[in-house]
Structure 1
Amino acid sequence: MNQKKEEALLLKHLKDLSHISYQRGYRTYSDFLNINEISLFLQYQKDIVTSQYRLWGGYDDAERRVICFYEDDSSNTMSFPIQCLLIQPANKKFSDALNHRDYLGAILNLGIDRKKVGDIIVKDKEAYVFCQKDITPYIIDNLNRIKHTTVLVTRQNEKIEAFEPNFIEITGTVSSLRLDTILSVAFRTSRNSLTGLIEGQKVYVNNRLVETNSFSLKEGDNVSVRGMGKFVFQGASEQTKKKRYKIIISKYI
């Protein structure tokens, strides 16, 4: 199936969910959407949404998110069918050094659709996996080994809204606040090599696709580059004597 057809089907599905919520007065939920699908939704939301909606992925900085369409006024107390699972080695001393791909691959090998799984945050020798609640028992009962490591899966029932990813602070000086210029500082590479990423539709600012190199970032903007990582632009100080800006970036690690 080509990309245009997939996008059209996704938009139709989201429109149907919104219409059902509006007509019948109850909440409907999408699967987890990736950053490209979220950007597509935000681009066409005025054409497809007839109800109210909210995006949530289990914690504030989630990249993969579920859309809830609703018609009531209780958005502040809204619950999503999302569960956070904690995956730990049975014995940390003899566990493999597992990465994001290892955890995701093990879950998908159980026959679970990628759309049912949200972000996976790897910390030390543990992983926090956000997934839809209805598949939680199946994962807990069947995921017992990743590579050569025996693992234990438990529900994480703490306030996952307060989950905070790790950052590394990067500073530098730039001639302007153009997107391509700041990307070169964040990823320590040349502006020319980044032009292809922007033109190749791989760069998102606040979940919206950006295709213009000259796009200017503002303080607090969340930037994601597919295949490279993401960061928060913390802002710039006044220009130096050489007319350059000192910038601060918080890069996810």
Structure 2
Amino acid sequence: MPNEDVLQHFNKEEAPFIDQVLDWRTQVINQYRPVLTPFLNPREQVIVNSLLGHSDDYDFAFFGGHEHAERCRVLIYPPYFEIKKDDFEIMPLSIHYASKFNQLAHRQILGSLLGTGIDRNRIGDIISEGDTWQLFVDKTLVDFLKIEVTKMGRTPVTLKMIANEKEILNPPSQWQMSEQTISSYRLDTVLAEGFHLSRTKTKQAIEKGGCKINWQAISNPSHEVKIGDIISLRGHGRLKLSSELLITKKGKYRVKIGRIKNN
């Protein structure tokens, strides 16, 4: 387990992941070879960046298969190693379906992929532009998914590899960024400001299991949110605590928050 000096900067439930990151670092240093991580969510990427920092013993890079990727793999490598995109072992796939008669949704696509039994951390972003959908997966899964995923919901689909990088979509960001002033980093406070709700309402929603941080259910309204966290609130959408801009004279925090509202 990581020592207390390390853990004090993170949430207690993040200890197993911190331990994993430190183990990846040790492998690179001791075995002098690159280590490739699974796909990591934004909060996990913040932790990796914080723990690895700068070192003469290794370097590291993030890549998710396309520009502005939210979910990325991290390659930790010795100084001698020259990285290429292929080293991240990410394959972009396009979803072919009769778009004239059917519609697909992100949740439907992800559910179909996870229904095959694969872990979430082997799937990167799922992106769309109009009725065109693409996804990014661990390269070793491609043959398996092409065989196993023939329907998404009731819609027949075919997964095909994208050979030409120029065919990868570059959709506009869904995040609506704004600056907000919060009195604390309590979860109920951040949600109240981000979605313009009362703290009473956000507190009740959290306690009833309607909130997740970095895709993990959180039922404690006083849970402290960290920079880089992705917060979802059932029925409202998602928030991303992007950065802290300043602390006001009254001790409040001016932060940049991204928001995606449910349609």
TM bracket (short chain): 0.5 to 0.7
AA of the residue aligned to 1:113: D
Q: TM-score, normalised by structure 1?
A: 0.64
**SS at 2:88's partner residue?**
coil
AA of the residue aligned to 1:80: F
Paired residues, what number? 221
* Contact 1:28-1:69 within 8 A present in 2 as well: yes
Q: Cα distance, 1:131 vs. partner?
A: 0.9
Query: Judging changes above 3 Å, is the alpha-carbon distance between structure 1 residues 182 and 116 closer, same or farther for their aligned structure 2 residues?
Result: closer
* Contact 2:213-2:229 within 8 A present in 1 as well: no
- C-alpha distance in structure 1 between counterparts of 2:111 and 2:46, whole Å: 25
Residue matched to 2:41: 34
CA RMSD of aligned residues (A): 4.4
Q: How do 1:12-161 and structure 2 match up within 5 A?
A: 12-45=19-52, 51-72=58-79, 77-78=84-85, 79-89=87-97, 91-95=98-102, 97-156=103-162, 157-159=164-166
- C-alpha distance in structure 1 between counterparts of 2:81 and 2:19, whole Å: 26
Q: How do 1:185-196 and structure 2 match up within 5 A?
A: 187-190=195-198
1:229 to 220, 238, 248: 238
Give the unaligned 5+ runs of structure 1: 204-210, 216-220, 237-247
Residue matched to 2:8: none
* Contact 1:170-1:186 within 8 A present in 2 as well: no
For 1:30-65, what per-residue CA distance to the aligned partner results, in whole angstroms no more than 9, with x for missing partners? Answer: 111223433443444369995221222223432222
Give % identity: 21
* Contact 2:65-2:91 within 8 A present in 1 as well: yes
Higher relative contact order structure (alpha carbons within 8 Å, sequence separation ≥ 6)? 1
* Contact 1:26-1:70 within 8 A present in 2 as well: yes
Residue matched to 1:206: none
Q: Cα distance, 1:69 vs. partner?
A: 0.5
Give the unaligned 5+ runs of structure 2: 1-10, 215-222, 246-255
Q: TM-score, normalised by structure 2?
A: 0.62
AA of the residue aligned to 1:81: E
AA of the residue aligned to 2:197: T
